[in-house]
Amino acid sequence: MAPPPRAPNLDPYVQFAQQQLQSGDFAGADATCRAILLQDAKHPVALTFLGIVAGQTGDYGAAVACFEQALVRDRNNASLHHNLAEAYRYQGKFERAWDSYRRATAIEPNLLAAHVNCAEAAKAAAEKAEAEGAAAAARKWRRAAARELGIVGLIHTSEQQGKAAEAAYHDALALDPANTEIEGHLGDLLLLQGRLSEAEGVYRDALVSDPRAAKCWNNLGSALMDQGRWDEAEQAFRQTLKLDPHFHEAASNLTHGKLLNLCYPAEVTAEELFEAHRAWGDEVIAKARRITPPFPNTKDPERRLRVGYVSPDFRQHSVSYFFESLLASHDRSKIDPILYAEVAKPDAVSERFKGYATWRPTVGLSDLKLQQRIRDDRIDILVDLAGHTNGTRLNAFAPKPAPVTINWLGYPATTGLPTVDYRITDVWADPPGRADELHTERLIRLPGGFHCYQPPAGWPAVSPTPALTKGFVTFGSFNNPSKLTTQVLETWARLLAGLPGSRLLLKGKTLADPAQVDRFQAIFAGHGVTPDRLDLKAMIPSMAEHVALYGEIDIGLDPFPYNGTTTTCEALWMGVPVVTLVGDRHTSRVGLSLLSQLRLEHLALPDPEAYIRQATTLAKDIPALNTLRLGIRQRMALSSLCDRPAFAAKFEAALRQAWRIWCAS
């Protein structure tokens, strides 16, 4: 019996038809597609191309017929549903168009063109209904268009297309002014961009429309908190929880956010900061419902240890710049690392981390489930890397889920939680004596510093100090503007006032807010420094542009009492010397710790007057400043701050000692 004839390979014809379409040869594409259909009468691609040709020539009825036939064999093709919707739209059949757009976006939710065109179809339907006197139908269609434009805004936001997102939200609100959800999205975009006053206004407008919108209350609280208006923020967070008692983010803002915000102002004493943290810890312990049973871990002081690290920052984040150095350098014969990742959107850094250790996603896990996961994994030592920062899982440490618990790196003060055994620091950041009394944890002081910085790959070489060619000195700081208190700004204003012609370059997200800019300029103007000497830049999403800005700065200025960490390391790596002011608590001694590792202690000063004098001395000797600048990177590369193997060894020794103590208990 003869075999059946083989079907011809139609791919070359399909490709040829596609080329004809792309070149605008619609007649040729039509002929090629019809030839394909003689061989395969239901070929979906040929039918799709014929539909496109029909649409281009205005025959939308034929286009609909072709697309519907194509969908018989290619039902899950989002683009095909979108093409069918477009044909219906041009026929004026808006209900059918709407249904097809919705099918397209159900298959491919981020199909931007489908959402945009769906909104256009709904607007056209609204105009038609209005012309026919059907006011209720017109309102329905306008609301539908607004919803689609809201989705367009979200897609643009996720792709960091801020201007396009903002335009989409405004277009949506023009159609449906009382849409609280879309107003909330617009407020979220403005908040993300650092436009705090505008975000606040949008949230307040949304709450006029819907006073029960819990998410808007929470995000209004965030906008107020970022402006330093904590009392008002606290009221907003409390209102959020009144409306939705399970709104976790608001509860976290009220507790962890409040404690973090106490780290910024100098008016809060070190003792007050400690007492606030301790009170929180005592309250959490009092509410803990579960008594931890005995741990099953084998008490062998020298065996391989299962070490769990808990953080929301296993991603592109400042914490990862220091943690990766340790994680990549762990001795796997001694340490088995497990990452408990509160990471909603893993990125390339997350993927690298997965290659170093076992990855345990924790988003959505309750504290009880996270505690049980940790116990099931038989973790010997559990390390918190977040403290009271955003996304923390510190509450899960309350019923002590592992034999040894430690806090390190991500937070500049005590956790306040009595079930956290240790905190890792060094002698510069927390000198023996008073510092021990300001922590609920026992302090482990690593020799040579408690940071290990991983210099970024691909950054440009250090350039000569810009004052050599500009003829004036530029000071700078890229720290979070929340750290730039009135005292800091006044100190910097006095510095500039004493050096005529000098300038100050600041960069931070919230400098997109006109109210912030006005506040900064007013403080400097009070000391005779005109606005033209201030270069205030908002968020720069491009890392290349961010790095290039260090080439514009001669001298870095560290804020106080909350010093920089990543910003200081970046500046130093780019050759920019940083002047810091040493205070009476961990937050204001990190600059001393970093500079001491580079043997640049002379840049760490005890009071604002000495701080100004040192910065002035550097600024008045440009050749010496340039020599210092050109040598800082090598100095840093050879220091303990960048010695990954040595840091991993001393960190592991600290873990081992803590484990031995537990084994002996």
What tokens were used for 141?
């269609």
Query: pLDDT (tens digit, 9 = 90+) per residue, 117-174?
Result: 999 999 999 999 999 999 999 999 999 999 999 999 999 999 989 999 999 999 999 9
- What DSSP designation does 584 have? S
CA distances from 498 to 492, 529, 581, 596, 612 (A): 10, 10, 18, 28, 9
Q: Which of 71, 62, 59 is nearest to 104 (CA)?
A: 71
Q: What pLDDT does residue 3 have? A: 41
Looking at residue 291, what is its pLDDT? 60
CATH of 305-445 given 1.10.12.10, 3.40.366.30, 3.40.50.11380, 1.10.101.10:
3.40.50.11380
Helix (H), strand (E), coil (C) string for 36-102: HHHHCCCCHHHHHHHHHHHHHCCCHHHHHHHHHHHHHHCCCCHHHHHHHHHHHHHHCCHHHHHHHHH
Per-residue pLDDT tens digits for 603-616: 999 999 999 999 99
239 within 8 A of 217, measured Cβ to Cβ: yes
Structure tokens at 22: 């792309």
* Distance between CA atoms of residues 297 and 127, nearest Å: 71
Comparing C-alpha atoms, which of 408, 453, 428 is closest to residue 655?
408
Architecture of the domain whose range is 467-642: 3-Layer(aba) Sandwich (3.40)
Cβ contact 541:160 at 8 Å? yes
Cα–Cα distance for residue pair 615/5, rounded to 1 Å: 87
% of the chain with per-residue pLDDT over 90: 88
**Which residues in the chain are classed under CATH 3.40.50.2000?**
467-642
The rounded distance, in Å, linking the Cα atoms of 100 and 90 is 13
Q: DSSP assignment, residue 503?
A: E
Sequence-ordered list of residues with C-beta below 8 angstroms from that of 592, at least 6 positions apart, any chain: 428, 429, 580, 582, 601, 604
Neighbours of 500 (CB within 10 A): 10
Ranges for all domains in the chain classified under CATH 1.25.40.10? 17-217
> What is the DSSP secondary structure assignment for residue 2, as one 8-state letter?
P
Question: What gap in Å lies between CA 398 and CA 291, rounded to an integer?
Answer: 10
Give the tokens for residue 120: 């256009």
Counting as low any pLDDT under 70, the low residues of the chain are: 1-8, 289-292
Strand pairing category for 422-425 and 503-507: unpaired
**What CATH code is assigned to 17-217?**
1.25.40.10
Q: Which residue spans of the chain are classified as CATH 3.40.50.11380?
A: 305-445
In this structure, how many other beta carbons lie within 10 angstroms of the beta carbon of residue 45?
22
DSSP helix/strand/coil, 605: strand
**Which one-letter DSSP state was computed for residue 360?**
E
Cα distances from 161 to residues 155, 166, 317, 456, 465, in angstroms, run 9, 9, 21, 26, 35
CA distances from 80 to 90, 92, 125, 646 (A): 16, 19, 22, 59
Structure letter (DSSP) for residue 249:
H
Distance CA 219, CA 200 (A): 9
pLDDT at 540: 83
